[in-house]
Amino acid sequence: MTWSNATRVLIHIGDAPPHGRRFHTYSHDSYPDGDPNGLTAESKFERHILFATKKLKINPHEPDWTTHPEKTGKLLYYTPPKTLSEVKDEYYFINSKFIEQDISFKVAQQPFSIGAERFAYFALDTSLEQANKLVIKEYQTLK
């Protein structure tokens, strides 16, 4: 498949900061003249590789919930298995129906952690008399 085809995906894992004096003045850069193989972002653009990055600040502290607006949504869950045979049943979750529940919640603006695929946010279930702490996860996407 050539890069001119409609479907093309390149997963680029890079370190930060990038190598080279054009990006910084650190004296401890192992490659002050840039990538030792001559790779540049410009060369990717010339090959019509669409390149996007996303920088996200992590905030490890639980927020002040009084400053966050309340949101509403739907919580979907299964009835947990009650017996060992239900746990072993490969069709238990396939044949189970989701239970849907309305929920009111507050969610932090910044994630407190990033996993391999998802961002993790502090959240608060405000549906009940006493609020319950939650973690809401969002899949990482390029926007």
SS3 51: coil
Residue of higher predicted confidence among 3 and 30 = 30
| Residue 41 neighbours by CB distance under 10 Å | 13
pLDDT tens track for 69-86:
999 999 888 888 889 998
Name the residue type at position 58: I
Of residues 103 and 77, which shows the higher confidence score?
Answer: 103
Give, for 45, the enclosing helix (H) or strand (E).
Answer: helix 41-46
Residue spans of beta strands (DSSP E) within the chain = 71-77, 99-107, 113-114, 118-125, 132-139
- pLDDT score of 29 more than 90: no
pLDDT at site 70 = 96
- Return mean pLDDT, the chain: 80
pLDDT confidence bin for 25, thresholds 50/70/90: confident
Q: What is the pLDDT of residues 109-134, one digit of tens each?
A: 999 998 878 889 999 999 988 889 99
